Structure 1
Amino acid sequence: MKISRLFEIVYLLLEKRTITAKELAAHFEVSARTIYRDIDILSSAGIPVYFQRGKHGGIKLMDNYIMNKSLLSQKEQNEILYALQSLNATNYPNNNKTLSKLSAIFKQKADSWIKIDFSRYSCDNSTLFEKIKEAILTKQTVKFDYFNTKGEHSERTADPLTLWFKEKAWYLFAYCHDKKDIRQFKVSRIKDLILTEKYFEKSAENFKINDKKDKVKIVKVIVEIDKSQAYRVYDEFPEENISKMENGNFEVIMEYPENEWVYGYLLSFGEYLKVKEPERIKKILFEKIEKMKENYK
């Protein structure tokens, strides 16, 4: 505790330059005598800290003092501050204090370079994300209602492991108590999530997310997309997967896990997309279109 207190005294002096023993004693909830001893220790360790009497007196740090940071280059210092700024953007707990301390040590302030908004235009999911983040960081089991791709409802109890952003959507990887395995939950389908009073341990056994990902069936689909949809083509696909055809349209190669989302995504292009291969996907979409037509007879 003493070492931590000594470092924090230096941080406070770097920020304020002058502070009284009474203020420090109140801050650390110790006696003024303890603070005097701490200052003596800092002084004997070579930190240029001293007492100044008078109206504006107190414990001071020499104006030209900057904590030795020679182990970190200027670029490395900036990277640390920028990383902390990105954590601030996600409302990471207790991060402001750390950022303030390191900014004081490095004698610079990191520019705010990132903004993350978890909400959609139609609704605000920030509370849900806050709960999930807290559960992951505190290793706290959660309960929630979940709706799968078929619209089927189930109640889940799970140990949240990590949040992933993939293909324009957020996913929660968690150990599902019901399935006794890692499951991937689309965050937009999670409802009424609550934190329980139970806690779990993150171990190598329940964190094999990459193994789970490798088991997902990937389908390769080659499509032709009308040239009028250029804005979507360049927004939604990697450039190396896009080829310009002689008629001006685009040939696009897609690789996605095969599920209802993929079929719906292909259909979202309406008459502007034609599946070239595989034949099996063409047949599935044809059957879905026929069923859609039945809805408008």
Structure 2
Amino acid sequence: MKLERLISMIYKLLNHEVLSASRLAEEYQVSPRTIYRDIDVICAAGFPVVSYQGMKGGYGMMDGYKMDKSLLGTYDVNSLITVLSSLSTVFDDERAQGTIERLQTIGPEVQTASLTVDFDTRRTEQDVLRHLRTAITGRNIVRFDYVNAQNERTTREMEPLRLHFKYRNWYIYGYCRTRRDYREFRLSRLLDLQLTGETFGPHPDLPDEAASANRGGQGQLEEVVVRVGPEAIAEALDQFHQMERQFHPDGSMTLRIPVCRPLQARWLWSILLGFGSGAVVLEPPELRSILKEQLKNTLKHYEEV
């Protein structure tokens, strides 16, 4: 996790004379470019990182510098402890717990929680997360079955590199040996995970997830316009809280949702149909036809009811 990595790097720079970017990249299983960005973040936070040139060059803290309590305020310390505590609970991570204990030594004696983080991770998903975290740390190849958006089930072999929590879901990112390219997989669609005994080497030139997605040819976004009735406003805001919206005097709302290939986006169909009569698609008209056909097919299952 980036936050844990940054904190760990700060302590390493405080406790070592000079550390090269390549050594840090290998230890944290990231690219040197990521280390350069991390160093910029650490510098922006007020830590005097010095760059040394030459064969034994790298990064280190300015001579005589010591970490002081004044560098982190009460709010900063409490926020870091809260986030790391949540991650520690999910992963049962002793290193994160150690970081929490170090932060507590520079924090206030009495802490009032003003921030909580709940990843809402079920027990089965926690087991998968911990196995994947172990595989990432040990550079173990994993094998699993995956159900894609077209409901096709395939067996994959992967070199796992990063775990992400985004869009209210966990994802694993790494090199898919089956497809011979970098891929991202949603954990909820991942089945029968196995850690193989085979290991893999470092990925020094690891591409960003966004670059991999673009290389995969996601296509141009198209706008889906949806009219939401008053009875479905809350649910629509939960599902599309970051989308452009316009409220109307009658209590309804118009949503404009940018979607890649909406005529093939079955996840979007499910959400829109889940609103029932509380929402109607205005554009594109082809999507209206698809949803109408979906409703007809669903009604066939209840003709004798």
Q: 1:79: which partner in 2?
A: 76
Q: 1:211: which partner in 2?
A: 211
Matched, 1:226 2:232: no
Q: 1:55: which partner in 2?
A: none
- Alpha-carbon distance in 2 for matches of 1:107, 1:264: 48
Matched, 1:156 2:156: yes
SS in 1 for 2:290: helix
Note the C-alpha offset of 1:188. Answer: 0.8
Q: 1:53: which partner in 2?
A: none
* Structure 2 gap segments, 5+ residues each: 1-11, 16-64
- Alpha-carbon distance in 1 for matches of 2:75, 2:247: 42
- Alpha-carbon distance in 1 for matches of 2:159, 2:199: 8
Aligned pairs (5 A) from 1:178-197: 178-197=178-197
Moved over 4 A (4+): 105-113
SS in 1 for 2:251: coil
Q: 2:199: which partner in 1?
A: 199
User: Which deviations, in whole Å up to 9, do the C-alpha atoms of 1:57-110 show, x marking residues without a partner?
Assistant: xxxxxxxxxx964485242x7535632442232123322223323433567476
- In structure 2, do the counterparts of structure 1 residues 162 and 219 end up closer, same or farther at CA, with 3 Å as the change threshold? farther
- Alpha-carbon distance in 1 for matches of 2:110, 2:101: 8
- Alpha-carbon distance in 1 for matches of 2:202, 2:268: 32
The number of equivalent residue pairs is 230
The letter for the 1-side match of 2:271 is Y
SS in 2 for 1:158: strand
- Alpha-carbon distance in 1 for matches of 2:253, 2:201: 49
TM-score by length of 2: 0.64
Q: 2:277: which partner in 1?
A: 271
User: Which deviations, in whole Å up to 9, do the C-alpha atoms of 1:185-241 show, x marking residues without a partner?
Assistant: 121111121222223344354433111233423332110011111221332333662
- In structure 2, do the counterparts of structure 1 residues 181 and 68 end up closer, same or farther at CA, with 3 Å as the change threshold? closer
Q: Is the 8 A contact 1:84 1:95 kept in 2?
A: no
Which piece of structure 1 moves more, 126-135 or 239-248?
A: 239-248
Q: 1:262: which partner in 2?
A: 268
Identity of aligned residues (%): 22
Q: 1:171: which partner in 2?
A: 171
Q: Which has the larger radius of gyration?
A: 1
RMSD over aligned Cα, in angstroms? 3.0
Q: 1:46: which partner in 2?
A: none
Note the C-alpha offset of 1:295. Answer: 2.6
TM-score by length of 1: 0.66
SS in 2 for 1:178: coil
